[in-house]
Amino acid sequence: MKIIAFTKMMRQADADELARIAHATKVEGFDLCVREGYPVNPDNADTELPKMVSRLKSENIPVPMVTGEGVWRDAADPSSTRILSGMAQADVGLYKLGYYYYRPGVDGDYWAFVDRVRRGLKDWSKLAERFGVKVCYHTHCDIPGLALGQYMGTNCAALMHLLKDLDPARVGAYVGTGNLVVSGEPFDYGIEMVGKYLSIVELQDVYLERIADGDQGMHRRHWTTAGRGAGAWTKVFETLVRHGFHGPLTMHAEFEVPAGESFEKLLERDMAYFSSRRSRALRPDHKN
């Protein structure tokens, strides 16, 4: 279980800068953000992704996965082929897909919408097979007031509506720890549900603060550094060890950086925190 860092918060970093950050923070690799405005993006991924990954590998820094745009793009989109082609050339095995959004009361029957998403995943499965990679769908909690709607696959239970009976060699589950906290689903329960589809785990801590708004049930999410939120990290790592999980653990590091602190120091601190929990769970004498 390598602990890697999502490069969303390192928008302008080229390969040399990412290598410097990895050595400074001791992260064990990167989840490379392949989006508009990043050095590797959907327009150049077939040529620039192999170069970026090769440069990082020369520093013993692996890139086991890449993350695409946040909004769903069909497998037929030309950028989809460019990204998976670049992955195949670079020997990157896992791709995080964008999201479908559903608006209750607007987008019609939920189960018909599930069928629509599943058709899209089946198309991606065929493209993934062509390039010898796996595409993954991420559990993402709702964002109140988001115009696009609510995320499909908000937790593991909902995610399995989308993945059930698809080929687990080509379509996988990407489980978000912090997102499950917000969605109210216990991590170990969710992992049992996704089973053989489990491919990537996101490490992100969060706590909730109630907003006084009468009976509207609103709360504020505080995405924070490891150990300061509601994440049950001992149980998370024990669960992953019990299930024999060997995939990447990607730190999202989307926390606020307090005055006087630096992003890299906080990332290094998170790396040390998660690494210690992993080591404890992996000890032969540890009781899971």
pLDDT digits (tens, 9 = 90+) for 125-168: 999 999 999 999 999 998 888 889 999 999 999 999 999 999 99
In this prediction, residue 214 carries a pLDDT of 65
Count of C-beta atoms within a 10 Å radius of residue 217: 9
Which fold would CATH assign to domain 3-282?
TIM Barrel (3.20.20)
pLDDT of 211 over the 90 cut:
no
In this prediction, residue 218 carries a pLDDT of 74
User: How far, in Å, CA of 192 to CA of 242, rounded?
Assistant: 11
Task: Report the range of poorest mean pLDDT among 22-26, 99-103, 254-258, 273-277.
Answer: 254-258
pTM (2 d.p.): 0.94
How would you class 253 by CB atoms within 10 Å of its CB: exposed for 0-12, middle for 13-18, buried for 19 or more? buried
pLDDT of 288 over the 70 cut:
no
The confidence band for 209, taking pLDDT boundaries of 50, 70 and 90, is confident
With the CA atoms of 124, 160, 177 and 6 taken in that order, what torsion angle do they form, in degrees rounded to the nearest 10? 0
Q: Cα 104 to the chain's mean position, in Å?
A: 25
Instruction: Quote the radius of gyration of the chain (alpha carbons, Å).
Output: 19
Assign 250 to helix, strand or coil: strand
List Cβ neighbours of 159 (8 Å cut-off, separation of 6 or more): 137, 139, 153, 173, 175, 193, 194
The single-letter code of the amino acid at 178 is G
In this prediction, residue 101 carries a pLDDT of 96
Structure tokens given for 53: 């990954």
pLDDT of 85 over the 80 cut:
yes
Pick the closest to residue 251 from 67, 128, 52 (CA basis): 67
